[in-house]
């Protein structure tokens, strides 16, 4: 059973907003000027409205000011996080895990020792493969993963994307909108059934493709000990 979400206190919520504010201000030089504008413009309009139509406009002005600041904070913080996430290994899987909706994410379901990886995502559109790493190597990795998944996904649609900024690739900043635009091909029951089949397929972990580092190789004596006498 899913664990109930822990309630966040008002103080913790303010602390989180402060952290987001500080992070965005460091990453985005236009953030502070936009916040100042989001405060000054509603305040000026509130003063004018109060002088002409009475004190009832003061609480309205306060609410509008807070709303404007929150809108600026939301938009600019998302843009700042996208800039930081660009090029970071595993960024696509992390963003998918934090997206709203029923998305079943399996980070690095297939990977190599060169940090190439393919994330498998199950959702209403079907099966989605998100590849990160060297464009030439991940194409081969995508082909292997498609062949492996074709044994259990049946007629479910499969989509694949290479995450990156080059031509023909999907930038991290466009990942969310791209996923939300995909058609809803499956029902909730279909997603659950597909999730169970893929869980059974991926129950056995795969070794990363590529050369095994020397410090991870078993000693020759280990093989001798395993031989029957």
Q: Are 108 and 118 in contact (CB under 8 A)?
A: yes
pLDDT category of residue 36 using cuts at 50, 70 and 90: very high
At 206 the pLDDT is 53
Higher pLDDT, 202 or 105: 105
Closest Cα partner for 62 from 46, 49, 84? 46
At 12 the pLDDT is 83
pLDDT in tens, 131-146: 998 888 888 889 999 9
pLDDT category of residue 66 using cuts at 50, 70 and 90: very high
Closest Cα partner for 61 from 42, 76, 80? 42
At 125 the pLDDT is 94
Higher pLDDT, 224 or 26: 26
At 32 the pLDDT is 92
Say how far apart CA 152 and CA 193 lie, in whole Å: 10
At 87 the pLDDT is 66
Percent of the chain with pLDDT over 70: 84
Residue 159 in this model has a pLDDT that exceeds 60? yes
At 133 the pLDDT is 87
Cα of 155 vs its chain's centroid, Å: 26
Task: Give domain limits for the chain.
Answer: 15-86, 91-203
Say how far apart CA 118 and CA 111 lie, in whole Å: 6
At 20 the pLDDT is 86
The per-residue DSSP string of the chain comes to -PPPPPPPPHHHHHHHHHHHHHHHHHH-TTHHHHHHHHHHHHHHHHHHHHHHH-TTHHHHHHHHHHHHHHHHHHHHHHHHHHHHHTT-TTHHHHHHHTSSS--EEEEEEEEBTTS-EEEEEEETTEEEEEEES-HHHHHHHHHHHHHHHTTT-TT--EEEEEBSSSTTSB-GGGHHHHHHHS---S-HHHHHHHHHHHHHHTSSPPPPBSPPPGGGSPPHHHHHHHS--
pLDDT in tens, 167-206: 888 888 888 889 999 999 999 899 999 999 888 887 755 5
Residue 229 in this model has a pLDDT that exceeds 60? no
pLDDT category of residue 211 using cuts at 50, 70 and 90: very low
Higher pLDDT, 206 or 90: 90
* CB-based burial label for 129 (10 Å; 0-12, 13-18, 19+): buried
Say how far apart CA 185 and CA 159 lie, in whole Å: 12
At 127 the pLDDT is 94
Query: How many other CB atoms are there within 10 angstroms of residue 127's CB atom?
Result: 23
Tracing tokens 């404007």 back to the chain, one arrives at 68
At 204 the pLDDT is 55
């Amino acid at each position: 059973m899913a664990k109930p979400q822990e309630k966040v206190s008002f103080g913790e919520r303010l602390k989180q907003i402060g952290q987001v504010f500080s992070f965005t201000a460091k990453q985005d030089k236009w953030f502070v000027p936009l916040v100042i504008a989001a405060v000054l413009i509603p305040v000026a309009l509130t003063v004018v409205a109060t002088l002409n139509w009475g004190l009832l406009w003061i609480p309205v002005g306060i609410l509008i000011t807070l709303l404007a600041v929150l809108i600026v904070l939301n938009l600019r913080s998302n843009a700042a996080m996208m800039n930081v996430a660009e090029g970071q290994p595993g960024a696509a899987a992390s963003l998918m895990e934090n997206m709203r909706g029923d998305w079943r994410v399996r980070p690095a379901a297939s990977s190599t020792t060169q940090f190439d990886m393919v994330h498998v995502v199950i959702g209403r559109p079907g099966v989605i493969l998100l590849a990160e790493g060297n464009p030439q190597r991940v194409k081969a990795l995508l082909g292997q993963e498609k062949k492996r998944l074709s044994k259990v996904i049946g007629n479910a649609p499969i989509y694949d994307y290479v995450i990156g900024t080059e031509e023909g690739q999907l930038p991290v900043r466009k990942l969310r909108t791209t996923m939300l635009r995909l058609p809803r091909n499956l029902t909730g029951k279909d997603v659950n059934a597909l999730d169970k089949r893929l869980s059974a397929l991926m129950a056995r972990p795969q070794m990363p493709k590529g050369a095994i580092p020397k410090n991870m190789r078993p000693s020759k004596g280990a093989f001798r000990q395993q031989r029957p006498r």
